[in-house]
């Protein structure tokens, strides 16, 4: 029996994870940390095995008080860190503190914490570099996107990922980094979801890259396996559905129009300015031309994770016949 602390607990994926951990008989207690005030978060009934706390993770003092206060009291052994700024247009030091510095604080404190033995970071497939000279099927040793011109959204995610990787084996705590495929759903921070949530998707004319999408349910399974597992490392967490962009749009029930690639960025910038759409073409330019599919072999072999929950596509419904990715 272990106690688990989950940050980002009020996000859709975090909420599902908390719900699942509370139902897990191997878990003694769950500490859910979120941005929302108590009472507004986690809209489901729970017993005494769950404690929700509202903590500003960008403030190291608050993180310290959390880990060496409540978490020590409850003998928390596992930390699942999901809290990340989800807006692709988020900029500035505050966003960086949320994306990177909060993790750094957690890792620093976990090193000398009397009970924490394992930290699981939910990272992102977006940390990988996409290029025509690189494989479509991406393994964990694939180059990361360290382009100096990359948006902060990407830079922060890469920095957080590398911050966790750099501590592996160096601190008195096991670290697991899960590079997850996008979970299609509102509030997940999925750029693809934002892209699809318009009446008309503009796509690059002549290109139709392969993409892989996950469901929150599959990501929760992967995080649970990582929390209960042993050892450390980096794992790709692919989703069940692998399909071309055009099929994704069609199955989502959205119309699309091909547009020359050069015009897409200005058009999406205008759309962002006018409608407030959160999709950033600049962030996804390479992915809209070149495929990127996460190879989940390592996660399957070490964590026994295989995606099993297909997206319930609005047009065709879920696909049940696929093989694991």
Partner 1 sequence: MPFRPPIAKALSALFGGSEVRDRADRLQYPDAGHGFDQFGMHPDFVALGDTIGKGLYDNYFRVKSYGYENIPTDGAAVIACNHSGTIPVDGMMLWVDILRHTNPPRAARPIADYFVSTLPIVSTLFARCGVVGGSKGNARALLDAGQLLMIFPEGTPGIGKPFSERYMLQDWRKGHCELAIRHKAPVVPVGIVGAEEQMPQLARIPMPRGSALPYIPVPATLVPLPVRYHIHYGQPLRFDLEYSSEEADDPAIVTEAAARVKAAVQALLDRGLEMREGIFK
Task: Give yes or no for residue 137 binding partner 1 (CB under 8 A).
Answer: yes
Assess 135 for contact with partner 1 (CB under 8 A): yes
Query: Using the rule CB under 8 A, which residue among 1, 23, 136, 270 binds partner 1?
Result: 136
The nearer residue to partner 1, 4 or 245, going by C-beta atoms, is: 245
Nearer to partner 1, 92 or 133 (CB): 133
Nearest approach in angstroms of CB 134 to partner 1 is 6
Nearer to partner 1, 23 or 147 (CB): 147
Q: What is the total count of residues that contact partner 1 (CB under 8 A)? A: 35
> How far is it, in rounded angstroms, from Cα 95 to Cα 85?
6
How far is the C-alpha of 168 from the C-alpha of 37, rounded, in Å? 33
Query: Binder to partner 1 among 99, 105, 188, 325 (CB under 8 A)?
Result: 325
Per-residue contact flags (x/-) with partner 1 for residues 229 to 268, judged by CB under 8 A: -----------xxxxx-xx--x-------x----------
Answer whether 251's CB lies under 8 Å from 242's CB: no
Closest approach, Cβ 206 to partner 1, in A, equals: 2
Instruction: Give dist(CA 186, CA 194) in Å, integer.
Output: 8
Among 148, 169, 186, 206, which residue interacts with partner 1 (rule: CB under 8 A)? 206
**Chosen residue from 208, 218, 224, 232 binding partner 1 by CB under 8 A:** 208
Least separation in angstroms between CB 123 and partner 1 = 20
Q: Which stretch binds partner 1 (CB under 8 A): 21-29, 31-39, 127-135, 163-171?
A: 127-135
Cβ proximity to partner 1, 185 vs 238, nearer residue: 238
Please tell me whether residue 309 binds partner 1 under the rule CB under 8 A. Answer: no
Nearer Cβ to partner 1 (94/253): 253
Q: Is 207 in the site for partner 1 (CB under 8 A)?
A: yes
Q: According to the binding rule CB under 8 A, does residue 291 interact with partner 1?
A: yes
Is 23 or 205 the residue whose CB approaches partner 1 more closely? Answer: 205
Residue showing tokens 């980094």: 177
Q: SS3 for the chain, per residue?
A: CEEEEEECCCCHHHHHHHHHHHHCCCEEEEEEEECCCCCCCCCCCCCCCEEEEECCCCCHHHHHHHHHHHHHHCCEEEEEECCCCCCCCCCCHHHHHHHHHHHHHHHHHHHCCCCCCEEEEEEEHHHECCCCCCCCEECCCCCECCCCCCCHHHHHHHHHHHHHHHHCCCCCCEEEEEEECEECCCCCCCHHHHHHCCCEEEEECCCCCEEEEECHHHHHHHHHHHHHCCCCEEEEECCCEEEEHHHHHHHHCCEEEEECHHHHHHHHHHHHHHHCCCCCHHHHCCCCCCCEEECCHHHHHHHCCCCCCCCCCCCCCCCCCCCCC
- Give 314's contacts (C-beta < 8 A, 6+ positions apart): 251, 252, 253
Of the candidate spans 87-95, 129-137, 275-283, 298-306, the one that interacts with partner 1 by CB under 8 A turns out to be 129-137
Q: Answer for the pair 169, 232: CB distance below 8 angstroms, yes or no.
A: yes
When the beta carbons of 187 and 244 are compared against partner 1, the nearer one is 244
Q: Is 132 in the site for partner 1 (CB under 8 A)?
A: yes
Question: Does 182 participate in binding partner 1 (rule CB under 8 A)?
Answer: no
CB of 132 to partner 1, least distance (A): 4
The binding site for partner 1 (CB under 8 A) comprises 132-139, 142, 204-210, 240-244, 246-247, 250, 258, 290-291, 293, 295, 310, 319, 321-323, 325
């Amino acid at each position: 029996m272990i106690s688990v602390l989950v940050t980002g607990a009020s996000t859709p994926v975090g909420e599902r994870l908390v719900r699942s951990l509370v139902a897990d008989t191997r878990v003694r207690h769950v500490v859910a940390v979120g941005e929302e005030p108590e009472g507004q978060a986690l809209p489901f009934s729970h017993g005494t095995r769950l404690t929700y706390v509202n903590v500003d993770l960008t403030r190291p003092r608050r993180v310290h008080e959390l880990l060496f206060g409540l978490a020590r009291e409850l003998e928390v052994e596992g930390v699942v860190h999901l809290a990340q700024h989800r807006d692709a247009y988020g900029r500035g030091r505050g966003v960086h503190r949320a994306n990177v510095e909060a993790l750094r604080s957690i890792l620093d404190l976990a090193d000398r914490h009397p009970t924490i033995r394992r930290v699981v970071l939910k990272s992102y497939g977006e940390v990988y570099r996409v290029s025509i000279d690189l494989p479509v099927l991406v393994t964990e040793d694939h180059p990361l996107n360290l382009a100096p011109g990359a948006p902060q959204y990407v830079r922060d995610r890469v920095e957080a990922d590398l911050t966790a990787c750099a501590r592996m084996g160096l601190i008195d705590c096991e670290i697991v980094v899960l590079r997850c495929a996008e979970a299609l759903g509102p509030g997940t921070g999925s750029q693809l979801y934002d892209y699809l949530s318009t009446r008309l998707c503009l796509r690059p004319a002549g290109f139709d890259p392969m993409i892989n999408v996950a469901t929150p349910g599959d990501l929760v399974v992967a995080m649970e396996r990582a929390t209960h597992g042993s050892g450390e490392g980096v794992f790709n967490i692919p989703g069940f559905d692998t399909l071309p962009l055009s099929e994704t749009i069609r199955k989502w029930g959205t119309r699309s129009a091909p547009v020359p690639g050069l015009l897409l960025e200005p058009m999406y910038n205008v759309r962002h300015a006018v409608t407030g759409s959160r999709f950033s073409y600049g962030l996804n330019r390479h992915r809209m031309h070149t495929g990127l599919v996460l190879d989940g072999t390592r996660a399957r072999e070490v964590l026994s994770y295989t995606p099993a929950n297909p997206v319930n596509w609005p047009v065709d419904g879920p696909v049940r016949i696929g093989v694991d990715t």
